[in-house]
Structure 1
């Protein structure tokens, strides 16, 4: 009995040590608080949903019309890239976020302890020369960003992101159309990245418009990768990472059908980042969850489950997929305040002109005494008060999505964007999931 008590004491000591090493876990995962029932109102607080333990069953997905590509997948392909794998710890992977330099959120305020990779967003190519246009503003902001990040511990890798939602897609289309213009663009990206001390470059082309664009994008990836390899060998430095933010699914179903160049992605990119959000918005006349993990409509393709599955089914290795998570929500004005579920008729934009940052959503919910609902079918939250309706992610849904990414052996996740969180409430969830899975 004495020896048993000693062993029990040792186990408690180890357990306590792990808990202490996991930041704020004692307050972020409150004990003895039952999870809310699906589709039931929950308090409007950011940490009210306890994290499911590893022994709990995940929420059952709705069946889809495609074969299940999300069963635990084998290692389809070994990375072709000669650079060291970014997936140093496969159970934890990449925790990334974009920093929009034009926002008011300062680089000095970034807490790097929650991330492995941070993107500077964005630079744009000159529409005539195709060289990166480093404006006077960027000449101030980039050194500020790099200096702040490199000075902090833990150190994270920085990437220069090119494009973004505000880019002119026709400029990229013209740039990729010939080997000469691609070379000018590529050389410029390498020069800027090296001059400022970035660890990699990222392309966010929203979006290649047709089959020709997609074919030329493959040529860009191949030529870019070769240039990065040659430059690294010549300079004796580690090769710059090459990544790309992409549509949530491997194929575009709306407008002109076209598919991403899977073989080029598999061979030449370190990873791609599907933007798993904006499935719904105020452009529609009904409310919707804009980053649903699942969609109860069997014929719907608007879900992260479907999108990630399409990439794996197309042939991209799971560990080359870094899943996008939004730090903002979409809002509507309800047609009838008494009809306030997902899919309720709407007659216009809601608070914030159709979009609110996560921090703004929490403030709105508290100030307006909004009803907050966790929807188990979509794995998302929504809130409503009067004729205002907001669909968004909160602590509970983000934890489940990170666990989903891990269960599918994805490379990691990224957030759009820094400055939209509330006291790092969402950003820290990956770190807390790491702690939970130790037990």
Structure 2
């Protein structure tokens, strides 16, 4: 299946680059920490990654090591995973371009070191999931461009990476094509940060953008735009959905361009509407 995917693109002479992505949001942090803890295990990881990527015709490798919710865990990841792994990443970089990393959250550059700038072609900063169903007492802009009450925002995160020394040309802003949902405590109080009593409709607390659009139509939801956070949300009864619509997405892209960022990415394109 993987070979069919890459060979089809190559046959069409597509300019698209394909990356062999290692990791994922559901993986255990200790797996990667153990893997890069010694020179022998790092060498084994790199050699096997190169072998698989070459076998299936990929252009490069993506290190998708995320799901780290606290600063303490990010520091562990920086010490034992990123910096340890990057000591040997020069090897696959010799043959495979591009080489990228996908850290989350984007809001604090705890993992930055000079080796990142030297050895990675880019970083996909996951600028979303700042708030969600794990915070059931209030609604939240789960991909806020700005947050007047804290530093948990895309603007603060991206600017922090740049201030820490990462070239803007290597920083990619992530945009979500899904929303997170809450159940309001009082339907009449529905601003961003309004009191909530739990998660709302969807799988867990998640609806893809196409599902959000369908929900809004089916329930005649009120759709509102929050200028303070640059985000959209919809309300139908006690159901509250925070997401990005076309308007907020355009503003974010313009912000990224103003910072000198070269590109942006979506997670994930199959969540789009029409």
**Where do 1:411-426 residues align within 5 Å?**
411-423=262-274
**Where do 1:23-422 residues align within 5 Å?**
140=1, 142-152=2-12, 154-207=14-67, 209=73, 211-216=75-80, 217-229=82-94, 232=95, 239-249=96-106, 251=108, 259-284=110-135, 285-297=137-149, 300-352=150-202, 353-422=204-273
CA distance in 1, matches of 2:41, 2:112: 20
Asked if 1 retains the 8 angstrom alpha-carbon contact of 2:77 and 2:111, the reply is no
The TM-score normalised by the length of structure 1 is: 0.58
User: For residues 326 and 339 of structure 1, do their structure 2 counterparts lie closer, same or farther at Cα, with a shift above 3 Å needed?
Assistant: same
Relative contact order, CA 8 A, sep 6+: which one is greater? 1
Q: Which runs of 4+ in 1 moved over 2 A?
A: 147-155, 207-213, 247-252
Asked if 2 retains the 8 angstrom alpha-carbon contact of 1:250 and 1:314, the reply is no
The residue number in structure 2 matching 1:99 is none
Task: Give the match's secondary structure for 1:336.
Answer: coil
CA distance in 1, matches of 2:103, 2:20: 16
Aligned Cα root-mean-square deviation (Å): 1.7
Larger radius of gyration: 1
Task: Give the match's secondary structure for 2:147.
Answer: coil
Task: Count the aligned residue pairs.
Answer: 267
CA distance in 1, matches of 2:107, 2:206: 26
Deviation at 1:264, TM superposition (A): 1.0
CA distance in 1, matches of 2:230, 2:108: 24
Deviation at 1:411, TM superposition (A): 2.7
Deviation at 1:162, TM superposition (A): 0.7
The residue number in structure 2 matching 1:100 is none
Asked if 2 retains the 8 angstrom alpha-carbon contact of 1:273 and 1:322, the reply is yes
